Amino acid sequence: MTRSDLRIGMVGLGALGLPMAINLNRAGYRLQVHTRSRQAEQNPGLHGALRCSNPADAARGVDLLMLCVSDDQAVNTVLFGANGAIETLQPGCVVIDCSTITPANSIAAAERLAIGKIDYIDAPLTGGTEGARAGTLTVLVGGQDTVLQRARPVLDVIGGTIHHFGPVGSGQQVKAVNQVLVAGTYAAVAEAMALGQRLNLPMDAVVDALRSGAAGSWALDHRAKAMLNRDYPLGFRLALHHKDLSIALNAARETDLHLPVTQLVQQMEADLMASGHEDQDVSCLRQWLK
């Protein structure tokens, strides 16, 4: 089938979902979209896409349904709630769940969809809004290889690299590992920027010097300037990362593993959320170090 033959449903047009949908639209796929607020459906980049009033309408007649929503409850509502996608999904359709949720919820969703002969892969993402706009996200997949191959042409549009780790739920497990790394690196960059500023160093020059050495990281490259300027353009919401760390910490507890650094960062995030920073980028961790 050509791109013009495939029909894709997209539910969730947030910071990642909207640029992903725009890239799919530009690639020539027949797209039908829905998001809870309905506002992003009117984005000029989605010209020609069919705007749908609920998930059931977005899933009607599609070959693949892509989700990019906030948490377990949102995924379950989109798929199985009132006017949920399960009402209209056809046997043989593939659900590509790009949300970050618990592995157990991914497994349960896949089992419930399988009753109707609907396939499911979990495909959480990393790479931030920059990667979503550029179509270079890293896609972390759990599910059957045959299902991934059917989804791959779509994933190739939104992702620079696609990695398959095993059965449904394994993509979410890898995303939990990713979020632990994000927690540590963002917090370390925040502390480093705070120390450099207290020492009155020329911080732009410091960052340029350090990014190519052992301290180099995505967070240093992409978020150090925001921390220095105390300006946090949204890449990934603090509240969502805080939720993701709960998933990672629960997984650690289930394997009798203590993650003290991750626990500390989650508490820092909780403090910031209590002060009204929940909708800012994770880089606002710098604000904790006043």
Q: Which CATH number is 250's domain given?
A: 1.10.1040.10
pLDDT digit string (tens) for 94-140? 999 999 999 999 999 999 999 999 999 999 999 999 999 999 999 99
Pair (141, 60) in one structural domain: yes
Give the distance between the most distant pair of CA atoms in the chain: 63
Decide if pLDDT at 228 tops 60: yes
Is there a single domain that holds both residue 106 and residue 216?
Answer: no
Report yes or no on 160 lying in a domain.
yes
Give CA–CA dist 252/255, Å, rounded: 5
Domain identity same for 23 and 145? yes
72-97, pLDDT tens digit by residue?
999 999 999 999 999 999 999 999 99
Q: Where in the sequence is the domain holding 103, given as residue range(s)?
A: 7-167
Catalytic residues: 175
DSSP state of 66: E
Same domain, 237 and 278: yes
Q: For residue 235, what pLDDT is reported? A: 87
When comparing pLDDT for 203 and 235, which is higher?
Answer: 203
Which residue has tokens 């350090």? 210
Q: Are residues 145 and 110 in the same domain?
A: yes
CATH number of 28's domain: 3.40.50.720
CA 34 to chain centre: 17
Domain closes at, from 117, 144, 167: 167
Cα 258 to chain centroid distance, Å, stands at 25
pLDDT at 234: 87
Are residues 130 and 114 both part of a single domain? yes
Pair (144, 199) in one structural domain: no
The answer to whether 27 and 153 have CB atoms below 8 angstroms apart is no
Per-residue pLDDT at 3: 67
Question: Domain boundary at 167, 202, 234, which?
Answer: 167
Of the chain, the percentage scoring pLDDT greater than 90 comes to 97
User: What is the three-class DSSP state of 283?
Assistant: helix
Q: What is the pLDDT averaged over residues 190-211?
A: 98
Residue 1 forms part of a structural domain: no
pLDDT by residue (tens digit) across 125-178?
999 999 999 999 999 999 999 999 999 999 999 999 999 999 999 999 999 999
Same domain, 100 and 145: yes
Residues 6+ positions from 71 with CB-CB distance below 8 Å: 99, 100, 101, 243
pLDDT tens figures, 35-62: 999 999 999 999 999 999 999 999 999 9
Which ranges in the chain belong to alpha helices (H)? Answer: 17-26, 55-59, 72-80, 103-114, 128-134, 145-158, 170-198, 203-210, 218-229, 238-254, 260-274
Is 2 a domain residue?
A: no
Name the 3-class secondary structure at 80: helix
163: in domain: yes
What is the total count of domains within the chain? Answer: 2
